[in-house]
Amino acid sequence: MSDAGILLEVRDLRTYFHTDDGVVRAVDGVSFDLAKRRIVGVVGESGCGKSVTALSILRLIPSPPGRIESGSIRLHRDHETVDIAALSATGKKIREIRGADISMVFQEPMRTLSPIYSIGSQIMESVRLHIGLNKQDAKEYAVHMLRSVGMPDPEQRVNEYPHQLSGGMRQRAMIAMALSCRPKLLNADEPTTALDVTIEAQILQLLTELQHEYHMSILFITHDLGIISKMADTVLVMYLGRIVERAPAVELFENPSHPYTQALFRSIPAMAAAPKAKLEVISGSVPDPTVTIHGCPFAPRCPHAHERCTADPGYTEIGPNHAVACWLYES
C-alpha cells in the first residue's frame, strides 16, 4: 500500500432512522479506512447496515426519517480534506463531490435510471455539470463511456431509454454514468443481484478492469462471500449496524474468527455435500432493530455467549490488520 495512502476515513459513524415504532440504529458506530486504489468489501445479512453506510457517505439518507447522528466521513481530495458528515445534504459542496469524487452503482438500475430520459442524456447531464463539455462533446463522450463498459452498439444505445435495454445493459449504462467523471471512489451496492450468473461474471470482470484502468477505490457491498473472495482486498463483516470483524480478504477466508463470520461461512452450500443434505442456518433471528442492545449485538444468537457479552467488547487485533469485536479474543 505504499503507493496508496488513505482516500476515505470513516469514524464512529451513526446513522439512525426515527420512525413511529422507535429509533432504528441502522449504522451504529462504524469506523474504517479506505485506501486509494483498493477494494473494500462489506458483507452481512440483509438489514445489517451495508447500504445505509454507502448512502451516508454520499449524504443520500432520506430525511426525515433518517439522519447522520454523529461521527465523521473524511474525504481526502487533491487539495483539501472534507468531512462529508458535516456538510449540508443539499448544499453546493456535496453536489460537487457526488459524481466527481464519489459515485454509486445501485442494485436496481430501473429504480435509479430515469425512464423519461435517454441513457445518453443522463450521462451527458453529469459530464456537462462536472467537466463542462458542450452538448456535442458530451454526447460523443457518452458514446465513449458506453463503449468502455462493453455496451454493444453504443452509438445506438446512447439514444435509447432504460426500458429498451436488458438488465445487463442497464447495469452497464449505470456503471458508465457512475464512472463518467472519473471518480476516486465507487460505491457498488449489490450491483449484480438481479443478474444471471453469466452477466454477473461479466459485470464483476468489468468492474475489476475499470478499477485498474481508472486507479479508483471501490466500496463493494454484497451478501455473497463468493463475490467478495474474487473482488476485495479487505473485508468488513457487519451485523446489526456494527462492524464485527475486519481483515484482509485472504486472511478472513483462511481464519474467520468472529462467531458471526464463522456462522456465515458454515451456511454456504458445499459442493461436496451429500445429496439432500440440510443447509446449516444461523440459530435465532435478527433482533428488533428498534430495541437498544447492550453489549455484543450477536450475543443472543451466539453459541459462545457468556456474562461479559452484555458489555461492548471493543476490537482485539488478532493478526496483521485483522480485528475482531468479540470477548473470546480479549487475552
Burial class (CB in 10 A: 0-12, 13-18, 19+), 251: middle
Q: Which three cell numbers stand for residue 28?
A: 451504529
Whether 55 is covered by a domain: the verdict is: no
pLDDT score, position 112: 81
Identify the domain boundary among 182, 213, 230. 182
pLDDT at 294: 86
- Please say whether the beta carbons of 30 and 53 come within 8 A: yes
| Domain annotation covers residue 167 | yes
pLDDT confidence of residue 1? 39
| 306 domain-assigned | yes
Q: What is the pLDDT at residue 271?
A: 65
Beta bridge partners of 76: 81
Q: Which helix (H) or strand (E) holds 111?
A: helix 109-112
Site of grid cell 456465515: 264
CA-CA distance, 240 to 46, in Å (whole number)? 9
- Number of Cβ within a 10 Å radius of residue 64: 9
Domain boundary among 147, 164, 182: 182
What does the longest C-alpha to C-alpha distance in the chain come to? 67
Query: What is the reported pLDDT for 2?
Result: 37
Length of the chain: 331
Asked if the bond preceding 65 is cis, omega within 30° of 0, the reply is: yes
How far apart are alpha carbons 279 and 271 in whole angstroms? Answer: 12
Where do we find the cell 463522450? Answer: 141
Expressed as residue numbers, the domain containing 169 is: 109-182
The pLDDT of residue 158 = 94
In a domain, 198, yes or no: no
SS3 of residue 112 by DSSP: helix
* Helix and strand numbers, DSSP H then E, in the chain: 11, 12
14 bridge partner residues: 28, 70
Residue 139 domain-assigned (yes or no): yes
| Pairing state between β 39-43 and 102-105 | unpaired
Q: What whole-number distance in Å separates Cα of residue 84 and Cα of residue 74?
A: 6
Residues of the chain predicted below pLDDT 50: 1-3
Domain termination residue (choose one: 144, 167, 182): 182
CA distance 96 to 130: 7
Asked if the structure places residue 272 within a domain, the reply is yes
Residue 277 is classified by DSSP as: P
Amino acid at 289: P
Can you give the pLDDT at residue 128?
84
Residue 52 confidence (pLDDT): 96
Q: Residues 204-207: contacts with CB within 8 Å, 24+ apart?
A: 204/230, 204/231, 206/149, 206/150, 206/172, 206/175, 207/175, 207/231
Number of domains in the chain: 2
Asked if 204 and 227 count as a contact pair (C-beta separation under 8 A), the reply is yes
Residue 72 forms beta bridges with which residues? 11
79 domain residue, yes or no: no
Evaluate whether 222 touches 40 at the Cβ level (below 8 Å). Answer: no
Residue 132 located in a structural domain: yes
